[in-house]
Amino acid sequence: MREITPRKIIEMKGKEKIVMVTAYDYPSALIADKAGMDIVFIGDSLGMVVYGDESTLNVSMDQMVYHTRAVAKAVKRALVLADMPFGSYEISLDEGVRNAVKLIQAGADAVKIEGGADHYELVKKLVRMGIPVMGHTGLTPQRYLRLGGYRLMGETEEEIEEILRDAKALEKAGAFALVIEFTLSDVAKLVTEEVSIPTIGIGSGPYVDGQVLVWHDLLGIYESTPPFVKKYADLKSMIQLALEEYRNDVKEKKFPGQDHYWEFLDKEEFEKKKRRAMERLNRSERNGEAE
């Protein structure tokens, strides 16, 4: 069992901020874990930042299982959380259970489900089975078509009521935490005060119990990022400069240098081995032609 468990995350509420970051492959997860992340999250955002899709709606269970398995192999300390992609749990309770089991078997410690009250029974069922669940309210990207795009949530009384209802339903169903995405900070603060489980914000201000960001956003791998993201690096420029330098070195015959390859120190020995190898090769080719 990894050091950070759902119970540990619950105990951090009001005491220590929870830090969560996405990762989609082995090397990224290895770095995230060594950096001290509390939760390493395989989000369905991989559809957009890894596969270049315009939304998360095309992400499949096979993709989530594949990336979860890679991340789980790398993480030794943090809690490994995997997203339930669109269509993997809405069709039926049984379908949702089967797909959650697949992610746990791939190495996840818990699963995340978008939505609240409408998935109460599924969350309750999974928790009873022993599968920890994180909920997700506020902006739910899998429902962006109904919401009218990726927009700030919590501006109306109806939205505030819905977000609170979802949060309380998730808590009652047994979720150990919930994400609040792109929601007015006042509303995120209200939810955080109204539930006993930790809230983890993304674009929802400082009054939550923790924060999550997408790997590619915070590291500056893409030029365009959501307005709520703080870029902690400009890896795009660094990577591009490194690749350009590599290209130039190859074109100008500077790479590989003498430190990057090996050769026979005894040239006479090499000539003898080369001659014998060539003789055997020629003999083999002649025999092949004769046949």
> What is the per-residue DSSP string for 70-121?
HHHHH-SSSEEEEE--TTSSSS-HHHHHHHHHHHHHTT-SEEE-SBSGGGHH
**Are the beta carbons of 215 and 23 closer than 8 angstroms?**
yes
Query: Which of 123-132, 142-151, 152-161 shows the lowest mean pLDDT across its residues?
Result: 142-151
In angstroms, the CA 147 to CA 158 distance is 13
Q: Which CATH class is domain 6-236?
A: alpha beta
Instruction: Give the per-residue pLDDT at 149.
Output: 62
Alpha helices in 130-199 (DSSP H): 144-147, 157-173, 185-194
DSSP letter assigned to residue 149: S
Confidence of residue 139 (pLDDT cuts 50, 70, 90): confident
Quick: pLDDT tens for 199-251: 999 999 999 999 999 999 999 999 889 899 999 999 999 999 999 999 999 99
What is the set of active-site residues? 181
